[in-house]
Amino acid sequence: MTPLLAPGAIDCDIHPAVPNLAALLPYMDQPWREQVVVRGIDDLATIAYPANSPLTCRADWRPADKSVPASSLAQVRRDALDPFGTSIAIANCLYGVQALFSEDMAAAYATAVNRWMAAEWLDKEPRLRASIIVAAQGPELAVDEIERWAHDKRFVQVLLLVSGATPLGKRALWPIYRAAEKYGLAIGIHAGSAYHNPPTSVGWPTYYTEDYVSQAQAFQSQLTSMICEGVFNKFPNLKVVLLESGFTWLPAHLWRLTKFWRGLRMEIPWVDRAPADIVRSNVRLSLQPVDGPPDRDSLLRIFDHMQSDELILFSTDYPHWQFDGTAAIPDGLPADLVRKMTHDNPRATYARLLETVA
Amino acid sequence: MNVQARQTPTTAAASKLAIADGDIHPTRKLASEFDPWLEKRWRDDIATFGTRQRQQWQNAPAYPKAQPNASRRDAYPPEGGRQGSSLPFMQQQHLDPNNVALGILNPLGTGQGLQNIDMSIALCHATNEWQQEYWTKPDRRLRASVVVPYEDPIASAKEIRRYADNADFVQVFMLSRTSEPMGSRKYWPIYEAAAEVGMPVGVHAFGYGGNPMTPGGYPSYYTEEMVGHSQAQQSGLASLVVEGVFARFPSLKMIMIEAGFAWAPSLTWRLDNAWRRLKQETPHLTRLPSEYIRDQVWWTTQPMEEPEPRAHLRDAINWIGWDRLIFATDYPHWDYDDPATSLPLKISEAERQAFFIGNARNVYRGV
């Protein structure tokens, strides 16, 4: 049975898509626009979501005309917003800006994607909010991009990929976190890689299945990095949201991280609270993919292990295939937990959702 | 974890339940202990160029440890030498008082994963002969691992078959940070030989495969390296499943050593969910990933996860199966799990028996 969401649910992870590079050109500065043509640059479609993979787009959400899934507002309204009674959905555009090697080129593409997002989506659909795309390859340029959009309250988050060139806790990235905290923007960390390192810590896998599964390990590593490096000590008001990360790994990971934190605190003395406490105050995770056990009771045990009903934010991960029909919420979750995931937790996480937008 | 000096238990061993220890680390008192089994060429090259790994230091681990040799500060043998180098002291401090009836030797830092693969082959063989001469012959409670130069799987398979009929050797020993994911076909000759001789393949945390320690690059701290062994093993196990190692070698048993176990249920659920959607690319898999894992994978317990409340650990073990965990201490290392205190759960006698010795007897060859 499809759980009926109370009116006003907030979907924290949907993926409106760039239909093609030509659609970005009007939003791109020179000389980059000219370079696209002169150099014959292709779409920035990374291998993180192969175009025809079943996971990349649920079969019944694929457009009949073979256009890029989720690339038109009509599709997104019909498949992602209307069926769930969504009051607000946060658009996390996955376009391979972060995988470019040139910092300047990446920054130019990030600007173009954000302009395109504002003009083609946010201006036209009041239920949408968006993440600011930045290229963490160049932290100073990323800060410039955050400041370009900080005044626009429809942007509620800064988006990073879980696997880039360096661990996300490293000090080189702190200017990004400083700016996000200053402007009341969350940091969203989404599944996906720049592929500047192998996708697993033991090298390049053979199958896409392994690449996708390994995203959970990447999230574990990055959560470890941000906690150990002291990001949350330096920026105590920063909210970090793990997107399309899965969440059933979280309790066991915190057990292990806490054990080594206890044993090795002399190495990272600034981490003055247990990792689980830091997660409860600063880190949130999106619902889909649930990656849950097959039975309801075990899933409820996982929620029990998390020891908080404030960590999970409702998401459909549209158009990725994580569930069928409108069954975005696993059966059998208590109504008050569902209410928190769909309404209260997103509002508590994204300060800007409480503000009126023009 | 991180106790500076433990009271050596004085309870008479005979009054305690006999246990198996799936992770004991013997070391050499003198580097020259390998010499009888090394050709002159290798003795000379090691003296001249050292044993270069895929990391930066000549004589140290990539991340400085938190205490010398990552070992208990009370584990230095009274007669001198590094921790874990004295059989009499290991007997006195660990094997006798804890009533260890079966101890599995997992030698580290011997020569696995070296840049020079021929040197690696030579050192691994010397390690195996040394285990027998210095450890398993004098103490019949101890059993050896066939340490293999896993980056050359053909040579590794040869080394495994060399000990096919030697009852002192009960498992094949790899490290988890391989240069390619463990399921890669490059490594299949190792699994084929292990299945053939009836030894499980133990995969121990550590190793230098040359890949950054996270998919986002090298982290800063030893803490992250230690926590990260769990991620490396998760990726390695996912690879073993998805690349079809378990499907191709249905009698193969794998033991994941010293990287935790509580992560296994979530990884298994994620594998099942992903595979249901993506199975078009893996027609060699005829069952759910979880089914291969349930039938063919074991875990050693140290360092045991310590949730608060501890009862959460019981959920994790229930999901994995009480028949799949092998108790281990990691003696003489700093994060040693004491058999008297490390499983603070009320458990049945049958569970206790399986956890502390029964499962080990079922998985290791001929014990």
Task: ipTM value, please give it.
Answer: 0.97
pLDDT band for position A232 (cuts 50, 70, 90): very high
Report, as an integer, the average pLDDT of A297-308.
97
Specify whether the CB–CB gap between A126 and A88 falls below 8 A.
Answer: no
Whether residue A69 is contained in a domain is answered as yes
**Cα–Cα distance list, B100 to B90, B92, B169, B279, B360 (Å):** 11, 11, 17, 45, 12
Residue B4, phi then psi, degrees to nearest 5 = -75, -40
Tokens of B184: 């890669």
CATH of the domain at A121: 3.20.20.140
Instruction: Enter the DSSP assignment of A125.
Output: -
Specify whether the CB–CB gap between B329 and B25 falls below 8 A.
Answer: no
Token pair 């991960």 is found at A317
Question: Are B214 and A197 a contacting pair at CB < 8 A?
Answer: yes
Report the run of H or E that residue B22 belongs to, with start and end. strand B19-24
Specify whether the CB–CB gap between B106 and B257 falls below 8 A.
Answer: yes
**pLDDT given at position B330:** 97
Whether residue B135 is contained in a domain is answered as yes
Token pair 């299949």 is found at B188
Question: Are A209 and B214 a contacting pair at CB < 8 A?
Answer: no
Nearest Cβ partner of B223 from A200, A214, A260? A260
**In this predicted model, what pLDDT tens digit does every residue of A308-326 receive, in sequence order?**
999 999 999 999 999 999 9
Whether residue A4 is contained in a domain is answered as no
**In this predicted model, what pLDDT tens digit does every residue of A57-67 receive, in sequence order?**
999 999 999 99
Statement: residue A2 has pLDDT above 50: no
pLDDT band for position A3 (cuts 50, 70, 90): very low
Q: Cα separation of A305 and A311, whole Å?
A: 12
Whether residue B2 is contained in a domain is answered as no
Question: Are B239 and A205 a contacting pair at CB < 8 A?
Answer: yes
Whether residue B6 is contained in a domain is answered as no
**pLDDT given at position A7:** 85
**Residues of chain B contacting A292 with CB distance shorter than 8 Å:** 269
Whether residue A3 is contained in a domain is answered as no
Question: Are A207 and B242 a contacting pair at CB < 8 A?
Answer: yes
**Residues of chain B contacting A256 with CB distance shorter than 8 Å:** 227, 230, 260, 262-263, 303, 305
A186, β-bridge pairs = A157
Residue to test with chain B: of A215, A247, A256, A308, most B Cβ within 10 A? A256
**Residues of chain A contacting B219 with CB distance shorter than 8 Å:** 167, 169, 221, 224-225, 228
Report, as an integer, the average pLDDT of A100-106.
97
Whether residue A191 is contained in a domain is answered as yes
Pick the closest to residue B302 from B229, B253, B234 (CA basis). B229
Q: Where are the beta strands (DSSP E) in chain A?
A: 9-14, 86-91, 128-133, 155-163, 186-193, 240-243, 283-286, 312-313
Tokens of A299: 């899933």
pTM over 0.95: yes
Question: Are A210 and B319 a contacting pair at CB < 8 A?
Answer: no
Whether residue B3 is contained in a domain is answered as no
Q: How many domains does chain B have?
A: 1
Statement: residue A116 has pLDDT above 60: yes
In terms of pLDDT, which residue wins out, A5 or B182? B182
Q: Which of A9-18, A26-35, A311-320, B334-343 has the lowest mean pLDDT?
A: B334-343
Per-residue pLDDT of chain B (367 residues; tens, 9 = 90+): 556 566 666 555 656 789 999 999 999 999 999 999 999 999 999 999 999 999 999 999 999 999 999 999 999 999 999 999 999 999 999 999 999 999 999 999 999 999 999 999 999 999 999 999 999 999 999 999 999 999 999 999 999 999 999 999 999 999 999 999 999 999 999 999 999 999 999 999 999 999 999 999 999 999 999 999 999 999 999 999 999 999 999 999 999 999 999 999 999 999 999 999 999 999 999 999 999 999 999 999 999 999 999 999 999 999 999 999 999 999 999 999 999 998 878 899 999 999 999 999 999 999 9
Q: Cα separation of B206 and B178, whole Å?
A: 9
* Interface contacts (A, B; CB < 8 Å): 253
Q: Cα separation of A283 and B255, whole Å?
A: 33
| Domain, as residue range, for A142 | 9-356
Q: How many domains does chain A have?
A: 1
pLDDT band for position A301 (cuts 50, 70, 90): very high
**Cα–Cα distance list, B262 to A305, B19, B268 (Å):** 12, 22, 11
User: Cα angle vertex A304, ends A299, A306, to 5°?
Assistant: 100
Question: Are A292 and B219 a contacting pair at CB < 8 A?
Answer: no
**Residues of chain A contacting B274 with CB distance shorter than 8 Å:** 55, 209, 212-213
Specify whether the CB–CB gap between A38 and A32 falls below 8 A.
Answer: no
Q: Cα separation of A289 and A245, whole Å?
A: 7
**Residues of chain B contacting A216 with CB distance shorter than 8 Å:** 234, 266-267, 270
Whether residue B346 is contained in a domain is answered as yes
Statement: residue A179 has pLDDT above 90: yes
Statement: residue A356 has pLDDT above 80: no
- Full DSSP string of A317-333: -TTS-SSSTT--S-TT-
Q: Cα separation of A100 and A108, whole Å?
A: 11
Instruction: Enter the DSSP assignment of B176.
Output: S
Specify whether the CB–CB gap between A97 and A48 falls below 8 A.
Answer: no
Residue of B nearest to A49 (CA): B278
Nearest Cβ partner of B219 from A200, A225, A258? A225
**Residues of chain B contacting A174 with CB distance shorter than 8 Å:** none
Q: Cα separation of B62 and B55, whole Å?
A: 6
**pLDDT given at position A358:** 58
**Residues of chain A contacting B227 with CB distance shorter than 8 Å:** 220, 224, 256-257, 260
| Domain, as residue range, for B198 | 11-363
pLDDT band for position A230 (cuts 50, 70, 90): very high
CATH of the domain at B161: 3.20.20.140
Task: Look at the alpha carbons of B288, B292, B298, B299 in this order and tell me if their dihedral is positive or negative.
Answer: negative
**pLDDT given at position B11:** 54
Whether residue A2 is contained in a domain is answered as no
Whether residue B192 is contained in a domain is answered as yes
Whether residue A217 is contained in a domain is answered as yes
- Mean residue pLDDT of chain A comes to 96
Whether residue A89 is contained in a domain is answered as yes
**pLDDT given at position B4:** 57
- Full DSSP string of A244-290: S--STTHHHHHHHHHHHHHHTGGGSTT--S-HHHHHHHHEEEE-SS-
Instruction: Enter the DSSP assignment of A200.
Output: B
Specify whether the CB–CB gap between B145 and B201 falls below 8 A.
Answer: no
10 Å CB burial of residue B366 (0-12, 13-18, 19+) is exposed
Statement: residue A83 has pLDDT above 80: yes
Residue of A nearest to B318 (CA): A298
Phi-psi region of B330 (alpha: psi -120 to 50; beta: other; left: phi over 0): left
Whether residue A284 is contained in a domain is answered as yes
How many other CB atoms sit within 10 Å of the CB of residue B84? Answer: 27
